[in-house]
Chain A
Amino acid sequence: MSVVVDGPAIRLVGHCPVEDAEPLLVALQEDAGRVVHLGELEGAHFAVVQILLLCCPALEGFPKDLFLKNLVLPILGASASEQINADP
């Protein structure tokens, strides 16, 4: 399991595949105040990133993966810039 729930903390470890979206969501639904630690994160499916974007938990640490760190991390926590219209 790459989603490790440890009391008030959730650690994302290694590569988080699509299946991890569910346990991550459940952990955040149980306690929205949990802090998600990204320091051991090496890769994540968009489904997992989407949970972080929708639930907006407090984040800590920097992902090891440069794409996540440089391009994805800046948008995590920030509010989305626009809304999808019915037809792009």
Chain B
Amino acid sequence: MKRWNIILAVVVAFAMLLTACGPREVDDGEQVVTVFGAFVDEDARRFRESMRPFEERTGISVEYEGSGDFETLILVRVEGANPPDLAAFPQPGLLGDFVKQGHVIDLNDWFDTGYLQQQYDQSWLDMAMMEGPDGEIMSGIWHRANVKSLVWYPIPEFYDAGYTIPETWDEMLALSDQMVADGNVPWCIGIESAGATGWVATDWMEDIMLRTQPVEKYDMWTTGELPFDSPEVKKAAEIMGEIWFNDDYVFGGVPSILTTPFGDAPTPMFDSPPNCFMHRQASFIPAFFPDNVEVGRDVDYFYLPPIDPAFGRPVLGAGDIYGVFNDRPEVREFAEYLTTGESTEFWVKAGGFVSPHNDAPLDWYPTDADRGYAEILQQATTFRFDGSDLMPGAVGAGSFWTGMVDFVSARGENIDSVMRSIDAAWPD
């Protein structure tokens, strides 16, 4: 009968496990707001820390859950009638899909316009307006921003060689030529990013579009009214090609652009002597720099200069927009907290974070580099969101990427067919 005892033991142990791991019991008094987002690990910790003042003041606990598969999971959860209270979307286009289906709460019902205008710059509020089933709604709250229009350069080598920060695009090209004449390589460019290969090129295109066209044209472009196969967009691609398709300009030559992972692309800048002197990339790139490289000491950045003075100093950026799915009193209270600079204070002070809130003072930023991003943002004559994140997924995370890969591998000679093929993927 020994065997019987074993089976009995297993069953009992099992029953105990079942009861121990049954549905989580939430204390009746405790109020919980769930937030789901794409940022993980260190960023997730910083987010949790930033929410602490709110939790201490209100007693409401904020439960953050992050996953690298956010884009897929948020779809599954909303479809499965199990949405989080709030979701932090890195792509407003994806939030737009949920707005269209009527899943997202209109924040204009919660906050009055005057309050929001006091908290945010108008361009942020404009970007949050999206078309729902019953007209335009304020679809979300901006919380984290990052600046994309940056060019990184190694110090002190850059200054030691006698180079100066270019103020216009032409000066930047002249500087590139001067570097070539000195026997240096001006640019490091790499766009490999596994399934997302090509997005680096789309950022360049967007930056150039903002610098060569009025902002209305940019908006038309991201909404599909201005096709890729138009003189405006082709001109942007050609301007990009002047730098990208010059073997003297690019470290490793043009073919290496496609095979260099975007995170490794800036590394040659830190060889000694530097193998390249300029690298255009967003404010997150220092996370990929070698350990011993410090921003401000070994590397710095300048604002990607304007091309046509008529269009001022446009800035390309990105950020997280928090869409709200459930209406409960504690969710309202939390949403209001997110609209205040206080909700970003910890993260801003921890570094690598740009607050889009008007009431986040510049002296919160821990380093000159961090403050610099915020200043670039404040001095921008126009701010626009990364266009590929605004376009429908089939284009912005599909044909635009692959089109740019084709464009680079043919050194720009197939511009017409590439632009037509990007357009062809646009959903009807």
A interacts with B: no
Interface residues of chain A, those whose CB is within 8 Å of chain B, are none
**Chain B contacts to A: CB under 8 angstroms:** none
